[in-house]
Amino acid sequence: MNDKLQKIRQQFPILNCRVNDKPLVYLDNAATTQKPLSVIDRMTRYYMEENSNVHRGLHHLSQLGTAAFEESRRAFQKFLNSELAEEVIFTKGTTESINLLAFSFGEAFVHEGDEIIISVMEHHANIVPWQQLCARTGAVLKVVPVNDAGELEMEEYKKLLGPKVKLVSIAHVSNTLGTVNPVAEIIRLGHEAGARVHLDGAQAAAHVQVDVRALDVDFYSLSVHKMYGPMGVGILYGKAALLNAMPPWQTGGEMIDKVTFEKTTFGDLPYKFETGTPDVAGVLASVPALEFLQEVGWDFIAEREHALVKYATEKLAQIGGVSLVGTAKEKGGVVSFNIDGVHSSDAATIFDHFGVAVRSGHHCAQPIMARYGIIGTLRASFAVYNTEEEIDVLVKAIEKTVQMFG
Amino acid sequence: MTEIKSCAETEAEIEDEFSLFDDWMDKYSYIIDLSKELPPLDEKYRNDQFLIKGCQSQVWLGAEYRDGRVYFQADSDAIITKGLIYLLIRLLSDRTPQEIIEAQLESLKRIGISDNLSPSRSNGFANMLKQMKMYALVFQTKEG
Ligand SMILES: Cc1ncc(COP(=O)(O)O)c(C=O)c1O
C-alpha cells in the first residue's frame, strides 16, 4: 500500500472497525461512503459551539451560522463550477432533488401529451417521480434501452427525441452496472431536440469532476453522503433562468417574500426552493468533504478506482461460476456480479462473516434487473480508500460461498 | 398419537443440535442441510398474495387453521432463509394461536443466528416471523 493511500485510510476512523471478529472490508460505497475525521469533527464542532437556526436571528450565533451556510453554498458553486451561487439548491439528497425537480419543472413546463425520457438503468429515485408527474399531467414516459454490456442504446435515444420531449433525465453513472454514460452527447442531442436535460449524479459526483457549465447541463442532482460527506444533504443544481421560471415545491417559512391570508409572494432563488430548517450541521460539514476530494485529487481517484475495478474484474473472472453484470467500456467503481446457483442474499450472509460489506439485491433498480432477467446482484463498489488486499478478502469469501452452496 | 413437544421443548432441542458446532461456518452448513428438509410448498401459495415483502430474498408463507391449531407452510428462493424457515416452522407450526403469539424464540438468538432476525425491512425472514404472529392473531380474533 503506498503512502498516499495509507494517509487517506488513516483519515477514516471506521476503517479500523472489526466485524464478526474480522477487519471491516467496506465495499458498499455506492450506498454511502465512510466519512473522514474532518467531516465528523465539523459536525461535532457545530453542535458544540455554533448551533442556532440560520437565516432568521439577528443574534451572533445565527449570523455566524448563516454566513457559514452561504459559504458552503459557494463551495458547491465552485465544486460544480456553476455561474451563480443561487443556482445551488440545498436538499436532503438526490431523491429530494429529483422530487423537487419533477414537481416544479413539471408545473412550469410539462403538459398533457409531452414526453419525458429516462433510461432502463435508472435508480427508482429517477423513475418514480417522473411516473408520478406523468400520471398527474398526462405526459408520457419514454425509456432508453441498454445493450448487453449495460451501455445506453444511443441510436434508440436519438429516435425517442422529438418535439414533444420536455426533459431528459438520465444517470451520469449507473449504480448497478457502473456504466459511465456519454453525458456530453446526451445533453447535446437533448438540446438539439429542444429538451432540457437533468443528470442524476448520485453515483458520479465523488468519482469524476463535474463541471455543469462545461457540460451545459440544465439540472444536476447529487447526494453528499455518497461523497465522503454527511447524510441528509443533497444538491439540486439548476440554471437560474429555468429555476426562476419554476414555482416552489414545498412551501412554508423562510422561502416567502410576503404572506397575507389573501396571497403569498415567494422569495428569490435559492430560498424559494428551501423552506423549513435545513440540516445546517450537515451543510457545513459538507465543505470538508469537498476539501477531501480536492486534496486527494481527481487523477488519483480515477487511477485508484480503475485499478480496483480492473483487479476485481480479473480476480472474479478466475472464479468459476461468477458472472459479471455490466461490462461497459466506460465504467466507474462498481462491480456487480452473480454466483451461479447462489442467491445474492445467501452470499452476502456468508460475506458478512468475512467482514465484507457488499450490497445484495436489486439496488432499487428493478427495471434493469428485469432487463437482464435476474432478481438481483451482489455489488462491490469502491471508494478511494479501498485496497487490492480488501478485494482478496472478497475473493476468499466468494470461494468459500461457492464451496458451501455448490 | 404422539405427544407434541411444546415450543420451549423444541427450542431446547434445536439449541442442542446447534451446540455441536462452534464454528459459524458449520452452523451455516447445518442450516443449508436443514433447508433440504423443508416440506414442499403447496403451489397455491406461491404467488404475490402470499409473498412476504423484503428486499433481499423472497419468502412465501401460507397458513391454515384447523381444530384450534395453526399450520404453516413456506418457501424461499434463498437457501439460508429456507433453512431458517424450516426452524421457524418446526417451532411454530401445529400450535395454538396463543402459543405462537407468546413465543419468544430466545434460542435463535443464543444459537448466534439472530442477525437474521433483526427487524430490518430488507429482511424477509424477520418479516416472516411477524407475519406468522399476525396470522395467529387473526385466527384467534376470528375465533373469539
Ligand atoms: C443513481 C442513484 N440515484 C439516486 C439515488 C438516491 O440517493 P439518495 O438515497 O441519497 O436520495 C441513488 C442512491 O443509491 C443512486 O445510486
Q: How far is CA A347 from the centre of its chain?
A: 26
Ligand 1 lined by A129 (C-beta under 6 Å): no
pLDDT number for residue B144: 64
Q: Is residue B1 part of a domain?
A: no
How far is ligand 1, taken at its centre, from the CA of residue B33, in Å? 38
Cα separation of A396 and A337, whole Å?
Answer: 15
Q: Is residue A367 part of a domain?
A: yes
Q: B122 contacts in A (CB within 8 Å)?
A: 361
Which residue in B12, B19, B55, B130 is the catalytic one? B55
pLDDT number for residue A63: 86
Cα separation of A29 and A27, whole Å?
Answer: 6
Cα separation of A196 and A14, whole Å?
Answer: 41
Q: Which of B32, B56, B79 minimises the CB distance to A361?
A: B56
Q: A328 near A152, Cβ under 8 Å?
A: no
Neighbouring residues of A169: CB distance < 8 A, sequence distance ≥ 6: A98, A101, A116, A117, A118, A122, A126, A130, A197, A198, A199, A200
Cα separation of B17 and B111, whole Å?
Answer: 10
H or E stretch including B26? helix B24-35
**CATH code of A70's domain:** 3.40.640.10
Q: Which of A265, A294, A323 is the last residue of a domain?
A: A294
Indicate the DSSP class of residue B76: E
Interchain CB contacts (distance < 8 Å): A and B: 42
Q: A144 near A127, Cβ under 8 Å?
A: no
Ligand 1 lined by A91 (C-beta under 6 Å): no
Cis peptide before B97 (omega within 30 of 0): no
User: Which residue in chain A is spatially nearest to B29 when comparing CA positions?
Assistant: A404
| Whether residues A18 and A90 fall in one domain | no
Q: Which amino acid is at A20?
A: N
> Residue B69: is it exposed, middle or buried by C-beta count within 10 angstroms (0-12/13-18/19+)?
middle
Chain B closest-CA separation from residue A123 CA (Å) = 15
A15 vs B: CB within 8 A = no
Q: Is residue A35 part of a domain?
A: no
Q: Is residue A140 part of a domain?
A: yes
Q: How many domains does chain B have?
A: 1
Mean pLDDT of B110-139: 72
| Whether residues A361 and A248 fall in one domain | no
Mean pLDDT of B55-78: 90
Q: Is residue B110 part of a domain?
A: yes
Cα maximum dimension of chain A: 71
Model pTM score: 0.92
Nearest-atom number in ligand 1 for the CA of A363 is: 14
Provide the CB-side half-sphere exposure for A251 (13 A, CA).
13
Q: Which of A276, A294, A312 is the last residue of a domain?
A: A294
Q: A350 contacts in B (CB within 8 Å)?
A: 28
**CATH code of B124's domain:** 3.90.1010.10
| Whether residues A201 and A268 fall in one domain | yes
pLDDT number for residue A174: 97
Chain B closest-CA separation from residue A83 CA (Å) = 41
| Whether residues A318 and A383 fall in one domain | yes
Sign of CA dihedral A203, A205, A207, A212: positive
Q: Is residue B2 part of a domain?
A: no
Chain A closest-CA separation from residue B123 CA (Å) = 9
Q: How many domains does chain A have?
A: 2
Cα separation of A158 and A155, whole Å?
Answer: 5
Q: Is residue A187 part of a domain?
A: yes
User: Which residue in chain B is spatially nearest to A362 when comparing CA positions?
Assistant: B55
> Cβ separation of A345 and B116 shorter than 8 Å?
no
Helices (H) then strands (E): counts for chain B: 6, 3
Given pLDDT bands bounded at 50, 70 and 90, which one contains residue B116? low
Average of per-residue pLDDT values in chain B: 85
pLDDT number for residue B125: 66
Q: A374 contacts in B (CB within 8 Å)?
A: none
Q: Which of A269, A294, A319 is the last residue of a domain?
A: A294
Q: A89 near A231, Cβ under 8 Å?
A: no
pLDDT number for residue B115: 57
Asked whether the predicted pLDDT for residue B122 surpasses 50, the reply is no
Q: Is residue B109 part of a domain?
A: yes
Torsions phi, psi of A322, nearest 5? -100, 125
B28 vs A: CB within 8 A = yes
In tens digits, what is the pLDDT along chain A, a chain of 406 residues?
689 999 999 999 999 999 888 999 999 999 999 999 999 999 999 999 999 888 777 888 888 888 999 999 999 999 999 999 999 999 999 999 999 999 999 999 999 999 999 999 999 999 999 999 999 999 999 999 999 999 999 999 999 999 999 999 999 999 999 999 999 999 999 999 999 999 999 999 999 999 999 999 999 999 999 999 999 999 999 999 999 999 999 988 777 777 888 777 777 899 999 989 999 999 999 999 999 999 999 999 999 999 999 999 999 999 999 999 999 999 999 999 999 999 998 999 899 989 999 998 887 888 988 899 888 899 999 999 999 999 999 999 999 999 998 7
Chain A closest-CA separation from residue B24 CA (Å) = 8
pLDDT number for residue A55: 76
Q: In terms of residue numbers, what domain contains B83?
A: 7-143
Ligand 1 lined by A119 (C-beta under 6 Å): no
A27-55 per-residue burial string, b: 16 or more CB within 10 A, e: under 16: bbbbbbbbbbebbbebbeebeeebebebb
The angle that helices A388-405 and B24-35 make with each other, rounded to 10 degrees, is 40
Q: Is residue A68 part of a domain?
A: yes
| Whether residues A309 and A274 fall in one domain | no
The grid cell for B41 is: 410448498
Asked whether the predicted pLDDT for residue B5 surpasses 90, the reply is no
User: Which residue in chain A is spatially nearest to B124 when comparing CA positions?
Assistant: A345
Q: B119 near B24, Cβ under 8 Å?
A: no
3-state secondary structure chain A: CCHHHHHHHHCCHHHHCEECCEECEECECCCCCCCCHHHHHHHHHHHHHHCCCCCCCCCHHHHHHHHHHHHHHHHHHHHHCCCCHHHEEEECCHHHHHHHHHHHHHHHHCCCCCEEEEECCCCHHHCHHHHHHHHHHCCEEEEECECCCCCECHHHHHHHCCCCEEEEEEECECCCCCEECCHHHHHHHHHHCCCEEEEECCCCCCCCCCCHHHHCCCEEEEEHHHCCCCCCCEEEEECHHHHHHCCCCCCCCCCEEEECCCCEEECCCCHHHCCCCCCHHHHHHHHHHHHHHHHHCHHHHHHHHHHHHHHHHHHHHCCCCEEEECCCCCECCEEEEEECCECHHHHHHHHHCCCEECEEECCCCHHHHHHCCCCCEEEEECCCCCCHHHHHHHHHHHHHHHHHHC
| Whether residues A367 and A265 fall in one domain | no
| Whether residues A237 and A250 fall in one domain | yes
Cα separation of A144 and A332, whole Å?
Answer: 20
Q: A14 near A345, Cβ under 8 Å?
A: no
Ligand 1 lined by A94 (C-beta under 6 Å): yes
Ligand 1 lined by A223 (C-beta under 6 Å): yes
pLDDT number for residue A265: 78
Q: In terms of residue numbers, what domain contains A195?
A: 40-294
pLDDT number for residue B120: 45
| Whether residues A134 and A49 fall in one domain | yes
**CATH code of A349's domain:** 3.90.1150.10
> Cβ separation of A362 and B32 shorter than 8 Å?
no
| Whether residues A132 and A87 fall in one domain | yes
pLDDT number for residue A98: 98
Mean pLDDT of B13-35: 90
Q: Is residue B30 part of a domain?
A: yes
Asked whether the predicted pLDDT for residue B117 surpasses 70, the reply is no
Ligand 1 lined by A125 (C-beta under 6 Å): yes
Cα separation of A347 and A189, whole Å?
Answer: 42
| Whether residues A135 and A277 fall in one domain | yes
Q: B106 near B40, Cβ under 8 Å?
A: no
- Which of B57, B82, B127 to probe the A interface (max A CBs under 10 A)? B57
Cα separation of A174 and B115, whole Å?
Answer: 30
| Whether residues A146 and A204 fall in one domain | yes
Angle at A199 between CA A105 and CA A287, to 5 degrees: 100
- Which of A123, A349, A374 to probe the B interface (max B CBs under 10 A)? A349
Q: Is residue A62 part of a domain?
A: yes
| Whether residues A227 and A314 fall in one domain | no
A70 vs B: CB within 8 A = no
Cα separation of A324 and A331, whole Å?
Answer: 13
Cα separation of A292 and A253, whole Å?
Answer: 34
